[in-house]
Structure 1
Amino acid sequence: MNIIAWIGMLGIIIFTLLPLLKKENRSKEEISKAIVTVTIVIGIIVAVLVFSVNYLFALIAGFIAMIVFDKKTYTKKRLIIYFSTILVISIVGYFIFRDNPDYVLKHLKNNPQTTSLYVAENDEQLITYQSDIVRPLASTVKMLIAVEYAMQIDAGLLTKDSSVSVDDLKRYDYKNSNGNAHKDWLTEMDSKGSIKNNEVSLHDVAKGMITYSSNANTDYLIDLLGIANINERANSLGLTQHEEVYPIVSALLISKHMDSTSKSEKQLIQEIKEMPMEIYRSTAAKLSEQMKDGTIKIEDISFDLPMNLQRVWSDRLIGASANDYGKFLAIISNDELPEGAGDIARELLEWPMQYNPVNHERFIHFGAKGGSTAFVLTEAMYAEDHKGDKFEIVILTDDLNFWQGLMLRNNMNSFESKLLGSEDYRLKIQKELSES
Structure 2
Amino acid sequence: MNSWAWIGLSSIIFFTLLPFVNKKNRTKAEMQKAIVTVGTVIGIIIAVSFFHVNYIAALLFGLLAVILLDRKTYTKKRLSIYGLMVLAVGIAAFAVFRDNPDYVLKHLKENPQSSSLFVAENGMPFIAYHSDVVRPLASTVKILIAVEYAMQVDANTIQKNDTVSLEELNRFYLKNSDGGAHEAWLNIMKSDGKIKNNEVSLHDVAKGMITYSSNANTDFLIGKLGINSINERAKALGIEKHEEVYPIVSALFIPEHVQQEDIDEKELIKILERMPIDEYRSLSTMLSQHMKTGMIKTTDATFNLSPALQKVWSDRLIGASANDYGKLLAIISNDELPNVAAETIRDLLEWPMQLNQDNQKHFAYIGAKGGSTMFILNNAMYAQNLNGDQYELVLLMDDLNIMEQLLISNNRHSFESKLLNSKDYRMKVLNELAE
Question: Same fold by TM (over 0.5)?
Answer: yes
Q: CA offsets per residue over residues 355-410 of structure 1, 9 Å max, x none? A: 11111111111000001111111100001111111111000011111111111111
Code of the aligned partner of 1:306: S
Displacement of 1:259 in angstroms is 4.1
CA distance in 1, matches of 2:277, 2:218: 20
For residues 177-188 of structure 1, what are the structure 2 equivalents within 5 Å?
177-188=177-188
CA distance in 2, matches of 1:358, 1:43: 35
User: Structure 1 residues 414, 54: CA separation in 2 closer, same or farther (over 3 Å shift)?
Assistant: farther
Establish whether residue 340 from structure 1 lines up as the match of residue 340 from structure 2.
yes
Counterpart for residue 85 of structure 2: 85
CA distance in 2, matches of 1:7, 1:118: 42
Displacement of 1:58 in angstroms is 3.2
Counterpart for residue 73 of structure 1: 73
CA distance in 1, matches of 2:245, 2:229: 10
Deviates more, 1:108-117 or 1:398-407: 398-407
Counterpart for residue 317 of structure 2: 317
Q: CA offsets per residue over residues 143-179 of structure 1, 9 Å max, x none? A: 0000100000011000000110100011111111112
Question: TM-score, normalization: structure 1?
Answer: 0.97
Q: Which runs of 5+ in 1 are unaligned?
A: none
Counterpart for residue 196 of structure 1: 196
Secondary structure at the aligned position of 1:303 is classed as coil
Q: CA offsets per residue over residues 44-77 of structure 1, 9 Å max, x none? A: 3344444444443333333332222211122211
CA distance in 1, matches of 2:297, 2:54: 33
User: Structure 1 residues 376, 95: CA separation in 2 closer, same or farther (over 3 Å shift)?
Assistant: same
Counterpart for residue 422 of structure 1: 422
User: Structure 1 residues 51, 420: CA separation in 2 closer, same or farther (over 3 Å shift)?
Assistant: farther
CA distance in 1, matches of 2:181, 2:355: 16
Counterpart for residue 138 of structure 1: 138
Displacement of 1:427 in angstroms is 0.8
Question: TM-score, normalization: structure 2?
Answer: 0.97
Q: Which runs of 5+ in 2 are unaligned?
A: none
Secondary structure at the aligned position of 2:118 is classed as strand
CA distance in 2, matches of 1:259, 1:67: 45
- The number of residue pairs the alignment matches comes to 435
Q: Percent identity?
A: 61
CA distance in 2, matches of 1:123, 1:295: 48
Code of the aligned partner of 1:348: L
Establish whether residue 286 from structure 1 lines up as the match of residue 286 from structure 2.
yes
For residues 28-427 of structure 1, what are the structure 2 equivalents within 5 Å?
28-427=28-427
CA distance in 2, matches of 1:103, 1:417: 14
Displacement of 1:419 in angstroms is 1.4
Q: CA offsets per residue over residues 182-208 of structure 1, 9 Å max, x none? A: 111111111111111111100010000
CA distance in 2, matches of 1:41, 1:115: 39
Secondary structure at the aligned position of 1:358 is classed as helix
Secondary structure at the aligned position of 2:308 is classed as helix
CA-based RMSD? 1.4
CA distance in 2, matches of 1:362, 1:3: 43
CA distance in 2, matches of 1:384, 1:355: 17
C-alpha contact (below 8 Å) 2:171/2:298 kept by paired residues: yes
Counterpart for residue 26 of structure 2: 26
